[in-house]
Amino acid sequence: MTTAVHKSPLMEVLSGQRSSIPPIWMMRQAGRYLPEYRAIRAKVPNFLDLCYTPELASEVTLQPVRRFGFDAAILFSDILVVPHALGQTVTFSAGEGPLLAPVMDANEISRLGRKIDVNTLAPVYETIRRVRGQLAPEVALLGFCGAPWTVATYMVAGRGTADQAPARLLAYGDPSAFAALIDILVEASSEYLIGQLAAGVDAVQIFDTWAGVLAGEDFERWCIAPVQRIVGNVRQRVPNAKIIGFPRGAGTSLPRYVDGVAVDAVALDWMIDRTFARERIQGRRPVQGNLDPLVLLAGGAALDRAVDDVLAAFAAGPFIFNLGHGILPETPIAHVEQMLARVRRQ
């Protein structure tokens, strides 16, 4: 299978070209900082129902592109639809974030589905087809999944945790059970990304939000190796698939990630030293990032300065402007407009 790739500024950067004005999108660009998102969200009490209703999910995906003219739309869904499609109970409670029925040992892991339930995820693919049909060809459509490690941290703890201790404890205490869970997630995530590419996304991003708590051998085993297996599986079916990796918090392990994972581009968090990232990463792959979401919230002169710093750091090579993590719900729309105008020199 080869996908119909649309020529767009973002896809050109993913192919290694430099652009004098970088393409721009934002992680979590469809979300609660937008009044038009909150209006739709208020009508759907259950967050997963929003992800699984193509009519609404496609509308929410398109909202930030319509309002701001971003260079990419990112599919509106969540990384936790994969555990849900493997049969785990997943709910989102207001103010508390995700709640899952935890899988805490080998026995509970063995009861999970081996494969994602096609019917559960069919509406996500339908959302992609609808969005692609409505999106201008020069706007890229991005799909995504969570990396196995990050998804496993939620599956094991049953919720978000500050230090991912439950998953780390299981990985230390019963590495073969934990490896079995990672294996299931590698296969499920590969299928899911292949399905998204078949439905019409131009590129995919693999979010490893909690990569930063892994060091040394653990970073190799639970971050690099599983993500590389996904990249290999996806390219076996879709040889021209474009893939962005986001190992958040990887810090000085980032060069090892680039050695071990054949992603087309690396998304940088706001914590990384920009000189290090330019010298050690951007020389080898296009990079994306890395404005601090908090400076976007702060606005004013600090925001202008921070945008200029990001642009100056990465101007010499292939670069996609983004945040270093998702936009915060309290962020004023005017600050997003200020950032966009500065990046586009308007």
Q: Tell me which residues are annotated as active site.
A: 28, 32, 41, 78, 154
Q: Does 70 bind ligand CP3 (CB under 6 A)?
A: no
Phi (first) and psi of residue 273, to 5 degrees: -65, 125
**Got the DSSP string for 291-339?**
E-HHHHHH-HHHHHHHHHHHHHHHTTS-EEEEESSPPPTT--HHHHHHH
Which residues, other chains included, contact 61 with Cβ-Cβ below 8 Å and sequence gap of 6+? 30, 73, 74, 75, 76, 127, 131
Q: What is the DSSP string of 55-76?
A: HHHHHHHHHHHHHH--SEEE-S
Is the CB of 242 or the CB of 278 nearer to ligand CP3?
242
Q: How many residues bind ligand CP3 (CB under 6 A)?
A: 22
- Asked if 153 interacts with ligand CP3 (CB under 6 A), we say no
From candidates 6, 18, 32, 235, binder to ligand CP3 by CB under 6 A? 32
Q: How many CA within 13 A on the CB side of residue 344?
A: 14
Contact (Cβ atoms closer than 8 angstroms) between residue 10 and residue 25: yes
Task: Kindly tell me which of 84 and 278 has the beta carbon lying closer to ligand CP3.
Answer: 84
Helix (H, G, I), strand (E, B) or coil at 207: strand
Interface residue with ligand CP3, options 22, 33, 47, 48 (CB under 6 A): 47
Cβ partners under 8 Å of residue 184, min gap 6: 86, 109, 112, 113, 114
Tell me: does residue 137 bind ligand CP3 (CB under 6 A). Answer: no
Residue from the set 15, 18, 19, 28 that interacts with ligand CP3 by CB under 6 A: 28
In this chain, which of 11, 13, 14, 30 binds ligand CP3, going by CB under 6 A?
30
Stretch that binds ligand CP3, among 28-36, 133-141, 295-303, 304-312 (CB under 6 A): 28-36
Binding mask 85-104 for ligand CP3 (x = CB under 6 A): -------x----xx------
In whole angstroms, the minimum distance from the beta carbon of 182 to ligand CP3 comes to 17
The residues that touch ligand CP3, with contacts defined as CB under 6 A, are: 27-32, 41, 47, 74, 76, 78-80, 92, 97-98, 144, 146, 160, 207, 209, 326
